[in-house]
Amino acid sequence: MRIGFIGLGQMGRGMALRLIERGHSLSVWNRSREATALLAAQGARIASEPAGTLDADIVISMLADDAAVHSVWLASGLAPSAPATSLHVNMASIGLGLAAQLSESHRRGGSAYVSAPVFGRPEAAAKGELDIVAAGPQAALARCTSVFEALGRRWFDLGPDPRHANIVKIARNFVLATIIESLGEAFALVQKSGVAPKDFLDIITATAMSAPAYRNYGRMMLEKPAQPTFSLRLGLKDVELALAAAAESAVPLPSASLLREQHIAAIAHGYGDKDWAELGNWIAERAGCPR
């Protein structure tokens, strides 16, 4: 399949390489050129502008945040001018308002749009082990199957409205953030009461909380990854997407507000570029039991 790929950050790079491995033909674009060398070495064509990727069966974009998506696809006029045959599959986590705008822009220009955000870190992206939640016109989704199979362990069809995939991703990452926060608080509590957080983690992940999220984030909290693959600052971005979506439909989200405050306080103490899991270590520090 001929695939355009826009955005070669930590996630996008792994995904693009994976698609090449699986035999797809890629033309890629990235704001900075360095990131493209690796892809060129694997046979990808390097486009000099985003529009250079549109001549493809599917164009995947994996940009950093709402501002980047807005600038590349909307402010530039790329979305409405995409050929009627093209299909934009946006796999980044974006806000609901922007998803609606993108969908509408493509629709007006005659092209198709699918929101397909993913669960998983760069390690999973590189191995094709993401979980994908996708929504958009059913014909468009059907065209994505081989891409989703290359990139994901599993994918979920959320129906025709692209925003529905985004809200599931946003709500899921909000739940993930509550896991990090609650583990951080619980670890501080048991530690100051004389129990090793590791023992506590082993017990709860052997019983009712036996889920990867608890195991992985608990472990990272205690091991402090030397190379963060998802920073606390990015975690805050996700919490803010949840707060924005909630405000839009007047849903109180008190846990998200608390999370936002905790992230900001952690950033004020130098944790912004540490791994998201280390929010728990800031909590420990604040409780007077630094690790």
Scan residues 79-138 and list those touching its own copies (CB under 8 A). 96, 119, 131, 133
> In a 3-state reduction of DSSP, which class is residue 23?
coil
Q: Which residues of 70-92 are buried (b: 16+ CB within 10 A; e: fewer)?
A: bebbeeeebbbebeeebbbbbbb
Q: Which of 30, 61, 262, 281 binds its own copies (CB under 8 A)?
A: 262
Q: Are 97 and 123 in contact (CB under 8 A)?
A: no
* 275 within 8 A of 220, measured Cβ to Cβ: yes
Report, in Å, the least distance between residue 166 CB and its own copies: 9
Among 31, 70, 260, 291, binds its own copies (CB under 8 A): 260
Give the number of residues written for the chain.
291
**Rounded Cα–Cα distance for residues 6 and 27 (Å):** 9
Stretch that binds its own copies, among 13-21, 42-50, 61-69, 168-176 (CB under 8 A): 168-176
169: annotated active-site residue: yes
* 37 near its own copies (CB under 8 A): no
- Contact string 201-220 vs its own copies (x = CB under 8 A): --xx-xxxxxxxxx-x----
Walk across the sheet containing 152-157 and list its strands: 118-119, 130-134, 152-157
Range 217-246, binding its own copies (CB under 8 A): 242, 245-246
Closest to 66 (Cα-Cα) out of 98, 111, 91: 98
Q: Is 265 in the site for its own copies (CB under 8 A)?
A: yes
Q: Which of 146, 200, 219, 291 binds its own copies (CB under 8 A)?
A: 200
Is residue 172 at the binding interface for its own copies, with CB under 8 A as the rule? yes
Element (H, E) at 104: helix 96-109
Question: Which residue among 127, 169, 198, 274 is the active-site one?
Answer: 169
Site string for its own copies, 137-156 (x = CB under 8 A): -----------------x-x
Catalytic residue annotation: 169
